């Protein structure tokens, strides 16, 4: 499958935007494109002197930082395979991924390193600090690795005796079906698998972003990096696209709470916002809903002459919350609550919902906000086909299948899982269930692994029940599970909201029973919930904020 070189497009962008700001650790330090290029060359020297060959694996683990990003780019442009590891993984999981990937070097963040044990990663030849310091050597097992770091500045000077300039850049010439990234999934429904992402998938996703954003985002514009860059969603659309566009990426470097994010949006006024539903829902529930529930606002919304004016003011408040400079918020990673989506659509807020998977690096479906159909996740993205494996794809949910340039090569060292997921005709079986309307809009109904079977053989999609349950009072998060032929709702109620409402423990239990009765009035008989169990703490989530559902299937009720 032929496609232009990803590394070539990155190389040209760095040359074209040499004196512009490229990567910042928000409020701390900024690297211009020429700084990024210089550090990439130094890392190339380390890789070469350490004996790393084209195709060897280099692991990178840590919080989002400019140094993380540069280490990642250096790995690709050298011709090695980048193994980005989510810093929120448990230390043993990080050890396992490093070993399974057969990584030769590890670049690790200061927050992660104290919890790791080099002796549990015996295949590593060197471990470097991936911090604001200049990639200091933490652990070197070979003379080559130690020599490379100790003599870096001398070797750089010998390579570029007449100063380092844009014309000195010559990056590795990648091939379309060559593995670029080995990305381990965050384990929403099962344990992590190593997804082999080829260069064609990186190029196609970045090209998609150019096709969608380039009329709105120009060189020098700000982007706030919210999502983990080690995850394909954040990597493709908050980092790689921006680096090929000449934009300026700001890594937050701290937990992206709504308070932190809204300040960053206000300061930086990003041109596009990439988000997960949880962020949008928190902003709406905490900053917007309390204001519009006032009697005067509710009355105005029921008055035809005032309704449009009030909706315009609400939309302006939402836009201001996100910096008031973006053309679109693209939401992905999980389903959005139905009530929130109805509200956003009602005020004509400029958001859209996309659909993707790590195995597609990640985009599968998308529509721009002004063409986006409520409840859907858009239409097939460029260079991708989508079909529903159902005898009636418009009405009967079936597995969503996709193929095209974005699809992975397979799972690393796991031929069985690859064969179960990629068929002989190149279709990737997503494991998601959905329908597709006559216009090509895809509507996700749930995960095939999550589908429950009712007592009389009915298909029950817990996500649809959870969507309704999460709209009821004091329900912050929920999961529906099955025990025998009965359904149970596991609910986490935000303690701050409970305290604000003045509810005692017994009153909260009573409220949950009222919620259950209300829920059972609006779902089919076979989908009614037998009881609600309050959870003592938030559900454990993946870094993209999807609940790790599989951990709660056997929860005692």
CA distances to 189, 242, 336, 453 from 450, rounded to whole Å, are 8, 36, 17, 10
Measured distance CA(390)–CA(387) in Å, rounded: 9
Query: φ and ψ at 324, to 5 degrees?
Result: 60, 30
CA distances to 266, 288, 341 from 285, rounded to whole Å, are 19, 6, 12
| Burial letters 52-85, b for 16+ CB under 10 A, else e | beeebbbbbbbbbbbbbbbbbbbbbbbbbbbbbb
- Reference 89, options 121, 131, 61; nearest CA is 61
Percent of the chain with pLDDT over 70: 97
Residues 290-332: pLDDT tens digits?
778 778 777 777 888 778 888 898 899 889 989 999 999 999 8
- Reference 14, options 250, 219, 312; nearest CA is 219
Contact 488, 557 (CB under 8 A): yes
Q: What is the pLDDT of residue 302?
A: 80
Contact 6, 53 (CB under 8 A): no
Pull the structure tokens for residue 509. Answer: 């239990």
Residue 226 pLDDT > 70: yes
Token pair 């906000």 is found at 369
Measured distance CA(89)–CA(162) in Å, rounded: 44
Pull the structure tokens for residue 394. Answer: 């418009």
Residue 178 pLDDT > 90: yes
Q: What is the pLDDT of residue 36?
A: 98
Q: What is the pLDDT of residue 285?
A: 77
Token pair 């690790």 is found at 108
Residue 132 pLDDT > 70: no
Contact 534, 493 (CB under 8 A): yes
In CATH, what number does 452-552 get?
3.30.300.30
Q: Environment class of residue 424 by beta-carbon count within 10 Å: exposed (0-12), middle (13-18) or buried (19+)?
A: exposed
Q: What is the pLDDT of residue 544?
A: 67
Domain 6-213 has CATH 3.40.50.12780: yes
Q: What is the pLDDT of residue 280?
A: 85
Binning pLDDT at 50, 70 and 90, where does residue 189 land?
very low
Model pTM?
Answer: 0.84
**SS3 state at 444:** strand
Please enumerate, as own/partner, the contacts of 253-259 that have beta carbons within 8 Å and a separation of 24 or more. 253/25, 253/26, 253/28, 253/63, 253/64, 253/65, 256/226, 258/282, 258/283, 258/286, 258/287
Q: What is the pLDDT of residue 188?
A: 43
DSSP run (H or E) holding 329:
strand 329-331
Binning pLDDT at 50, 70 and 90, where does residue 484 land?
confident
Mean pLDDT of the chain: 91
Same fold across 273-325+328-447 and 452-552: no
How many other CB atoms sit within 10 Å of the CB of residue 1? 13
Query: How would CATH label the architecture of 273-325+328-447?
Result: 3-Layer(aba) Sandwich (3.40)
Q: Which residues are paired to 204 by β-bridges?
A: none
Of residues 337 and 208, the one with the higher pLDDT is 208
Residues 65-75: pLDDT tens digits?
999 999 999 99
Contact 253, 264 (CB under 8 A): no
Q: What is the pLDDT of residue 192?
A: 72
Measured distance CA(477)–CA(493) in Å, rounded: 7
Measured distance CA(248)–CA(310) in Å, rounded: 35
CA dihedral 462, 468, 469, 473 (to 10 degrees): 170
Return the domain boundaries, the chain.
Answer: 6-213, 273-325+328-447, 452-552
Contact 351, 272 (CB under 8 A): no
| Burial letters 140-176, b for 16+ CB under 10 A, else e | beeeebeebbeebeebbeeeeeeebeeeebebbebeb
Mean pLDDT of 126-144: 89
Residues 415-468: pLDDT tens digits?
999 999 999 999 999 999 999 999 999 999 887 778 787 755 677 889 889 999
For 362, residues 6+ apart whose C-beta sits below 8 A from its C-beta are 205, 232, 233, 236, 332, 356, 406
Residues 202-214: pLDDT tens digits?
999 999 999 999 9
- Reference 362, options 544, 219, 98, 94; nearest CA is 544
């Amino acid at each position: 499958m032929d496609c232009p070189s990803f590394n070539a497009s990155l190389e040209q962008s760095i040359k074209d935007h040499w004196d512009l700001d490229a990567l910042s650790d928000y409020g701390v330090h900024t690297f211009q494109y020429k700084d990024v290029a210089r550090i990439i060359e130094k890392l190339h020297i380390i890789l070469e002197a350490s004996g790393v060959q084209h195709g060897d694996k280099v692991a990178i683990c840590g919080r989002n930082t400019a140094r993380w990003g540069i280490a990642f780019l250096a790995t690709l442009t050298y011709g090695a395979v980048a193994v980005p590891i989510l810093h929120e993984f448990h230390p043993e999981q990080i050890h396992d991924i490093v070993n399974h990937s057969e990584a030769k070097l590890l670049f690790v963040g200061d927050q992660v390193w104290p919890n790791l044990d080099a002796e549990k990663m015996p295949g590593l030849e060197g471990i470097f600090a991936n911090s604001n310091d200049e990639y200091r050597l933490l652990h070197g097992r070979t003379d080559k690795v130690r020599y490379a770091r100790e003599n870096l500045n001398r070797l750089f000077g010998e390579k570029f005796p007449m100063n380092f300039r844009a014309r000195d850049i010559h990056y590795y010439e990648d091939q379309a079906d060559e593995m670029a990234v080995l990305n381990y999934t965050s384990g929403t429904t099962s344990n992590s698998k190593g997804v082999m992402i080829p260069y064609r998938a990186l190029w196609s996703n970045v090209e998609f972003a150019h096709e969608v954003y380039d009329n709105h985002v120009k060189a020098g514009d700000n982007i706030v990096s919210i999502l983990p860059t080690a995850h394909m969603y954040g990597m493709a659309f908050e980092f790689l696209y921006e680096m090929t566009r000449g934009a300026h990426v700001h890594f937050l470097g701290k937990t992206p709470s709504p308070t932190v994010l809204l300040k960053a949006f206000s300061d930086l006024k990003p041109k596009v916002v990439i988000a997960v539903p949880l962020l949008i829902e928190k902003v709406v529930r905490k900053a917007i809903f309390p204001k519009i529930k006032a009697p005067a606002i509710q009355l105005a919304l029921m008055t035809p002459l005032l309704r449009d004016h009030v909706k315009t003011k609400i939309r302006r408040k939402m836009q201001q919350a996100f910096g008031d400079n973006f053309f679109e918020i693209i939401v992905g990673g999980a389903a959005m609550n139905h009530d929130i989506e109805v509200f956003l659509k009602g005020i004509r807020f400029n958001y859209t919902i996309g659909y993707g998977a790590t195995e597609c690096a990640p985009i599968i479906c998308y529509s721009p906000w002004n063409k986006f159909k409520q409840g859907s996740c858009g239409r097939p993205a460029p260079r991708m086909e989508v079909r529903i494996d159902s005898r009636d794809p418009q009405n009967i949910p079936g597995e969503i299948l996709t193929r095209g340039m974005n699809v992975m090569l397979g799972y690393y060292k796991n031929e069985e899982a690859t064969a179960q997921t990629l068929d002989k005709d190149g279709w990737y079986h997503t494991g998601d269930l959905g329908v597709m309307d006559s216009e090509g809009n895809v509507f996700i109904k749930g995960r095939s692994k999550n589908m429950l079977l009712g007592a009389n053989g009915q298909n029950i999609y817990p996500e649809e029940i959870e969507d309704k349950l999460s709209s009821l009072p004091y329900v912050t998060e929920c999961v529906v599970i099955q025990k025998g032929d009965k359904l149970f709702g596991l609910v986490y109620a935000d303690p701050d909201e409970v305290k604000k409402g003045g509810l005692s423990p017994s009153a909260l239990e009573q409220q949950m029973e009222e919620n259950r009765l209300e829920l059972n009035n609006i779902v089919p008989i076979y989908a009614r919930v037998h009881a609600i169990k309050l959870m003592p703490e938030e559900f454990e989530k993946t870094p993209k904020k999807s609940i790790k559902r599989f951990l709660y299937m056997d929860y005692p009720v």
